[in-house]
Amino acid sequence: MDEGLESGSYQEQENRQMTITAGSEKPSPLSRVAVIALILAMLTIVFVVMSSVGFRMEWWGYGSSVKILRVAAFVGMTATVLSVIGIYMAWPGRSRRSLVISILALLIVGPTLVLPLYWGYSKSKLPPIQDISTDLENPPEFWEAPTSRLYPGPKVAGQQRKAYPDIQPVFFSSPMEQVFRQALMLVGARGWNLVAAEFEEGRIEATVTTFWYGFKDDVVIRLTGVDTGTRVDMRSTSRFGSGGDGGTNANRIRSFLAALQKQTVQ
């Protein structure tokens, strides 16, 4: 009887000792690579936001904003590499905290890198033009836009033909009055600032403010009555900057005309 009690007491002491030992184990130290990756990921966000906010607040010009965006891309890529290394180093169960921090850094920097990388890719692949028109022989003219300008000429037209062959006039079987009304409604639905709406001239002018940098782009829509119905031409051009628009104006024309076709058919 005493031997059983003594054995049970010994077992309890051993269990307590194991519990104390387990509880006294120190968590594995954080990986320095993981910590640096998280810091760089946060810095990437700061640089991307600074690039936009600084330009909007007129703290610096467009050139400085682009330089800051390039720094953001470099820092972000470094953070991505370190995050992957941190995950690899912690994955076999060596440090759960380091693994979590590395994954967190990767999740933060991934979406943040989309803007600078896309911008850089577009700039490198697309021609340095920012005045796009569906009619390259007789582009729609700006009459009332704040910064009216002449079309750049044959060189830009040639570059556009090569880069954006799909930017073409759109023809509608509907009468001009109906298409004009639908186009005007679509301008308002997109939040563009209406500058002019002259039905007799078949002309709509508007100003578009871009989301991220707040650039002011001008748009003119020209409607012409033809035998089959109505022809719609559109021109979109950036007021500010140089070296190209990253495809912004071409995408705007594509999107607007596609929506106008869908809306008019309905």
91: pLDDT strictly greater than 80? no
pLDDT 10s digits, 101-125: 999 999 999 888 887 777 777 777 8
pLDDT 10s digits, 5-15: 445 555 555 55
Which pLDDT score is estimated for 23? 46
Q: Which residue has the tokens 């750049």?
A: 152
Contact 130, 149 (CB under 8 A): no
Which pLDDT score is estimated for 60? 87
Of 91 and 103, more confident: 103
The kind and range of the H/E element at 259 are helix 248-265
pLDDT 10s digits, 41-57: 999 999 999 988 998 88
Residue 78 binned pLDDT confidence (cut-offs 50, 70, 90) = very high
Q: Nearest CA to 146 among 76, 202, 219? A: 219
Contact 41, 109 (CB under 8 A): yes
How many residues are present in the chain?
266
pLDDT 10s digits, 135-173: 999 999 999 887 767 888 999 999 999 999 999 999 999
Which pLDDT score is estimated for 20? 45
| Strand-strand pairing, 131-133 and 229-238 | antiparallel
CB contact set of 180 (below 8 Å; sequence gap of 6+): 199, 202, 204, 223
